[in-house]
Structure 1
Amino acid sequence: EVHTPRIIASATEGGAALFSVDYFDREAFLAQSPQLYKEQLVMSFEKVFEIGPFFRAEESHTRHHLSEFVSIDVEQAFADAEDVMKLLENIVQQV
């Protein structure tokens, strides 16, 4: 299990709107995903996962859209989609 930063300097994924925050008189953002960090970590640790809060500042006209949510995010080197699903199922069963 890994814990990636929640306050970041710039977007780590395209397409998602970010919440900006004042961070010691500099602009920073709330993380929308751990993807970039997981891709780097999986080079040293073959399998990584994170369970934690993430933020998306996307406008919505429905109450079904969450700006803050908890995500289980998995990254696994040298694996296909089925391998990743097995790992994710195992994590969910253990939680």
Structure 2
Amino acid sequence: DKIVEPMLEMGYKNTTPAIERSVLLRMGFSSLEAKPIVEGVMQKGLMGKGAGNVVWRLSKKMGISVREAGLALAEDKYWDEVNALFEGGEN
């Protein structure tokens, strides 16, 4: 744990839009779909949570697929639900 903790902390603090888009691409989203998701994550101040994590957590909360959740976010839907998921900063 002592070895991994600094690496995890670095990952939370040093992510970039390019890294987050790359994660979404690996989750099956196109670059055109990933861009507005990452922009929304940035606007909400959730970069440290990770765009992929935001999409995944939303899909679990809403009972929909990861793809459906991501596409909805790309269409500017469900951001209020995302805010509620990450209130308090501990998630």
Q: Same fold (TM over 0.5)?
A: no
Structure with more helix by fraction: 2
Of structures 1 and 2, the larger Rg is shown by 1
Could you state the TM-score of these two structures normalised by the residue count of structure 2? 0.31
TM-score (norm 1): 0.30
